[in-house]
Structure 1
Amino acid sequence: MPSIPEKKKEESRRRKDPLQLTRSEARETERRMALRAAVVHKAIQAEGEEELQRSSPALAWSGLAAGLSMGFSLVMEGLLRAHLPDAEWRPLLAKLGYPVGFLIVVLGRQQLFTENTLTVVLPLLQRRDAATFKNVMRLWGIVLLTNLTGALLIAWAAGETRAFQPEVRTAFSEIGREAIAPGFRSVLVRGIFGGWLIALMVWLLPFAEAARFHVIFLITYLVGLGGFSHIIAGSIEMFHLAITGLASWGEVLGGYILPALLGNTIGGVALVAAINHAQVAADKSG
């Protein structure tokens, strides 16, 4: 609490300058100011450094958990699709199920490959040395492999067991056929948009605080509604097609998984990590 003389001085200053802020008002103004890009960059870089220090077994278990959890995006979307009438507006509601897997993974702090196209790349861009590059490749390889393993397991459960009603399994197949239909080039371009959006989501999260749920939900809903390719969410749909005999393994690997992987990596690394790092580096040099 300010003393009486300090209060009088403050009142005198405010009479001379009506726009003069009190100390508490100045602190509140500072709190409400938008954070500089450098602050966001530093927070995400610190998270990336922490991830790069994790052991390979820890990354593997977390990546497997994320691959399994992502299956709930397909499950929820399939359930909604199966119970909605076949109308033009059905995708608007059915795609509300798409963010479910992402919410579980991100809020549960599980390792997802597309998130790591930003977080662990920032330390690499900062140091640019062989040791960091090797460590990034280690993390990417483990997380991608275990994400896909989890995706394969959940796709097998959806396609080879009677856990879901026939109309829901039909919805799973329809979702997969729609995702693979555009072909290699279109899936690649859609993957760039998908990787771009997921990396932007990661960029927004460190200081989203109570809005984290809404940021994750809105960004991933946009990915789903826009039909933008995502290597892990989409691979579950693709594996389901291959397991149920609706597409060959060559078709799903070459027609979706490879272009989606390339697109997501380009979108996350080039359009978010590199550009946002460049703006912070330019501020420092300036």
Structure 2
Amino acid sequence: MSDETELRRNSENKHSESNDSQSNKMAREVEDLSQPKSRIVYEAIKQAGQEELTRPTPSLLWSGIAAGILISFSVLGEAILRTYLPDAPYSYLIENIGYSLGFMLVILGRMQLFTENTITTVLPLIEDFKKKNMFCMAKLWSIVLTANVIGAFLITALYVFTPALPEDVAPAMLSLSEHAVFMPPLDSFYKAIPAGILIAAIVWMIPQSESSAFMIILVLTWLIAAGDFTHIVAGSVEMAYLMWLGKLGLMDATFGFFLPVFLGNVVGGTLIFSFLVWGQVKNEIE
């Protein structure tokens, strides 16, 4: 009798273990299918930021110059579509798809774009606010932004001083550049805030949706153009283009366009988006 009882207990234990194993397996499968938690995305971006802060200066410089060159295809793509699309109410929405091209090249190509760093390198500083971290972030920002602007001036020199830019496209390129750069400075500042938020949102979304990265970049950067928002690096291409043509002076470029847009992008990407993200996860990581 005791043997039968023992066998029954063993059978029940095995059945229970089997159920536990199946439950654990199902839990793992559900976890695999679910989106990563916010704190996991936060940690991934923070780690990427920490790695960026330790990269050698030459690597940052060349990557930043490449980004400044490649982002010009946002302005060029939009200009080409504006040139050849029919004059119709819907053309505005279609031509702004061209604005996404440069961002796709830069972001998917892992180049150093200044506005991405308004969240990536800020998260380590928010969590561990030290003078050393602040200095490292300021150094990286200055190197990357300077490199982006150098790249913008290099590629626009090609467009202005050689036949690289098709003659049919040049008027649209000029029109787009004048519209962006000659905007009142206060308008440029406020319009730069949503652009900073949207670029930071791209950085936040891609780690949890890598398979959809193309569409995320396409839609959100299209929205920057369609919403007539201002972006410091793409805008630097337009600024440099006008300066090479002799239509914009250094003082007007710096104080009328560059600084307001720079500050607006930082407010949007850092003061708004990064701190909202930090507020969302701080109680989970402490």
Normalised TM-score (structure 2): 0.90
Deviation at 1:158, TM superposition (A): 1.4
SS class of match (2:27): helix
**2:157 equivalent to 1:156:** yes
> Hey, what does 1:9 align to over in structure 2?
15
Deviation at 1:142, TM superposition (A): 0.4
Return the alpha-carbon distance in structure 2 between the equivalents of residues 164 and 85 of structure 1.
21
Greater mean alpha carbon deviation, residues 112-121 or residues 174-183: 174-183
> Hey, what does 1:174 align to over in structure 2?
175
> Hey, what does 2:73 align to over in structure 1?
72
> Hey, what does 1:198 align to over in structure 2?
199
Alpha carbons of structure 1 residues 282 and 24: separation in structure 2 relative to 1, 3 Å: closer
Normalised TM-score (structure 1): 0.90
Whichever of the two has the greater Rg, that structure is 2
> Hey, what does 1:99 align to over in structure 2?
100
Counterpart residue type for residue 74 of structure 1: V
**2:166 equivalent to 1:165:** yes
Counterpart residue type for residue 210 of structure 1: S
SS class of match (2:113): coil
> Hey, what does 2:226 align to over in structure 1?
225
1:160 and 1:244 in contact (8 A); partners too: no
SS class of match (2:114): coil
Give the alignment's Cα RMSD to 1 decimal: 2.2
> Hey, what does 1:239 align to over in structure 2?
240
Unaligned runs of 5+ in 1: 15-20
Greater mean alpha carbon deviation, residues 178-187 or residues 214-223: 178-187
Counterpart residue type for residue 39 of structure 2: A
Deviation at 1:23, TM superposition (A): 4.4
Counterpart residue type for residue 204 of structure 1: M
Unaligned runs of 5+ in 2: 1-10
> Hey, what does 2:184 align to over in structure 1?
183
> Hey, what does 1:272 align to over in structure 2?
273
Structure 1, residues 91-124: CA drift from partner, whole Å, max 9, x if none?
A: 1111111111111111111101000000111111
Aligned length: 275
SS class of match (1:114): helix
> Hey, what does 1:18 align to over in structure 2?
none
Counterpart residue type for residue 83 of structure 2: A
2:159 and 2:165 in contact (8 A); partners too: yes
Q: Percent identity?
A: 37
> Hey, what does 2:121 align to over in structure 1?
120
Return the alpha-carbon distance in structure 1 between the equivalents of residues 82 and 65 of structure 2.
27
Return the alpha-carbon distance in structure 2 between the equivalents of residues 23 and 126 of structure 1.
34
2:199 and 2:269 in contact (8 A); partners too: yes
1:196 and 1:264 in contact (8 A); partners too: yes
Deviation at 1:284, TM superposition (A): 4.3
Alpha carbons of structure 1 residues 224 and 280: separation in structure 2 relative to 1, 3 Å: same
Deviation at 1:275, TM superposition (A): 1.7
Return the alpha-carbon distance in structure 1 between the equivalents of residues 19 and 265 of structure 2.
56
2:182 and 2:257 in contact (8 A); partners too: no
SS class of match (1:118): helix
Counterpart residue type for residue 134 of structure 1: F
SS class of match (2:203): helix
